[in-house]
Structure 1
């Protein structure tokens, strides 16, 4: 089953499915930012048409005055956003979609672009570790059999969409934003710990399980405690694609299969990418014991991969349990990527050395 991408504005009380599409993959944040800026520019020029056709959000701008935004589509007349470059995830708000895709929360600045339209930005240090970008197809229903993937021009030279990445086949057809792409990690059979026990990630996605288990904020490497958390989002791909995986085997016979960039806790309490682990390093079990790695294989897998994030945003509560081992949520690949390679779980301070 394929899931549509929902945003917090559309579904605040249930887990959110966020799209990632390897078929339309962009390898750098610079490429993602360029796609978002292209969508903002095309949305204003093609669908707004007049720089004065803004609405005042009433929110203060860090540059002075109030923030002005543009509606690219009428949600009542065109709820599926046919022909819109920003899509329904952000309610067709051109500037809001830009900052939400590229930045963490923070002061929002406002300027005027070369075409006279208001344009928003935030401080560079508030950029997301992995930025989001829109992906397009011929239908608003990503499950439709006749839904065809579309691509912007490879150099973003125009506001056309194409049937091929080489931009040789213009798509003179209706188009829709199917979601915003980001990274994902688990193969479908990998088991994540929920309150009732381990559940394969694909089964959790299908049932929208909300009872995710994570570490408590005060957990340490020698005093791990689990808590019932809530699921904030699931990430999955729109289409099957070839994935590069690390298959990690431990001394106890455990096995963890994740993408190369997946965040994992090593024996030092440090969060690292799976691809940096070596034989002799250790994974950390949910009970705190270390399990030495005896084999690491790199392989490819054709299909979809998945990930998950809890509601809590503190770093330690974004450590969950997969296949019995401590791993990081998708936030460590996106908003909190700057914490990779840092120690998150320290040793407890003995009582006898406390003042």
Structure 2
């Protein structure tokens, strides 16, 4: 049986407000750089703040819940809350969750990969959803705001929550000195990055440290071809879609992975890596004796793993292609996932990417909420 790329993934059922125009994406990246939250905890706090403000400002009462009809892992069916509705507010004005208007659904999208969902009462008496801790996204998403629904609008000004999340107002400055008594909209969702500055990514003329590549705005990225197999990996010229970099230095924990050949990767804990079984896993789940995969398909056994503190900026990038396999790129000579795997909405952890002679009927199935 030939070894094929396993790329079948369940469709995402959550619709969130994101820029409609392709040209708006660089603007969103710029906004996210300014509105940078460098830790998962900070992103989680932003999401929880948005949920609480949505409930208190726009829903108003715990009994306003509607039945989604979806099964709850804690029994019964899941209940959610609508901030507004599309008929009278199609652009999401005044919404803390975006134009989906579904408060708990938006929080799950931002914080977790897909999976069984439980619910319980929060401290204000509203039903709140949760999932198992291991389903949390390695890099939570968090909403960023503007004065109009279109981030590309010349009149759109960026808005920020209170620096201490002390109230539900939005401000024109990050220091919370200039309240914005104006309409507001969710303009998109941000996430943070994964590589340290010196880690080398493969481009058309060779490997280049990711910081240098970003500063030079290098577009000539090299990735796997969409039809690559584990036995016949092929590289292709691709194009860089985006770079991300944290605005400020921050504390991180890195996994330093050393292979038998002497090669080494330095990544944040959640960075997606292809292992010797053709699976994409978080760097923190690797063990001594596992293997990394080189660009030519040969395996390089891991001989040492260390977790180490790091203070500084981390970086990431994504190609223009969106299929799973051509989002595998080469870092330090090894196959790793791009930022598009980082928050895969159906849960990338342990998904088989490089299909290795495993019958389809024994592959793990994606759980739906």
Identify the match of residue 319 of structure 2 among 296, 300, 310.
310
Residue equivalent to 2:41? 26
Residue equivalent to 1:118? none
Deviation string for 1:129-160 (max 9, x for gaps)?
Answer: 55521469xxx89xxxxx9x92312xxxx324
In 1, the alpha carbon distance for the partners of 2:347 and 2:143 equals 23
Residue equivalent to 1:173? 178
The 5-angstrom pairing of residues 1-355 of structure 1 reads: 9=21, 11=23, 17=29, 19=32, 21-23=36-38, 25-26=40-41, 31=45, 33-37=47-51, 68-70=89-91, 95=99, 131-134=140-143, 150-153=163-166, 158-160=167-169, 171-174=176-179, 180-336=189-345, 338-347=347-356
8 Å contact kept, 1:233–1:310: yes
In 2, the alpha carbon distance for the partners of 1:68 and 1:13 equals 23
In 1, the alpha carbon distance for the partners of 2:259 and 2:311 equals 24
8 Å contact kept, 2:325–2:353: yes
Structure 2 CA distance for partners of 1:309 and 1:65, relative to 1, 3 Å: closer
- Aligned residue pairs, count: 270
Shift of 1:44: 7.8
TM-score by length of 2: 0.60
In 2, the alpha carbon distance for the partners of 1:277 and 1:313 equals 26
Shift of 1:320: 0.6
Q: Determine helix, strand or coil for the equivalent of 1:204.
A: helix
8 Å contact kept, 1:15–1:234: no
In 2, the alpha carbon distance for the partners of 1:128 and 1:85 equals 24
Structure 2 CA distance for partners of 1:103 and 1:322, relative to 1, 3 Å: same
Deviation string for 1:49-81 (max 9, x for gaps)?
Answer: xxxxxxxxxxxxxxx985733475xxxxxxxxx
TM-score by length of 1: 0.62
Residue equivalent to 1:165? none
8 Å contact kept, 1:160–1:171: no
Residue equivalent to 2:67? none
Unaligned runs of 5+ in 2: 1-17, 60-84, 111-130, 146-156, 359-369
In 1, the alpha carbon distance for the partners of 2:109 and 2:95 equals 19
Structure 2 CA distance for partners of 1:281 and 1:311, relative to 1, 3 Å: same
The more displaced of 200-209 and 127-136 is 127-136
Unaligned runs of 5+ in 1: 1-5, 46-63, 73-83, 87-92, 105-123, 142-146, 163-169, 350-355
Shift of 1:174: 4.7
Shift of 1:218: 1.3
Structure 2 CA distance for partners of 1:133 and 1:317, relative to 1, 3 Å: same
Q: Determine helix, strand or coil for the equivalent of 1:257.
A: strand
With CA pairs under 8 Å and 6+ residues apart, which has the higher RCO, 1 or 2?
2
Deviation string for 1:160-186 (max 9, x for gaps)?
Answer: 479xxxxxxx94435799985413110
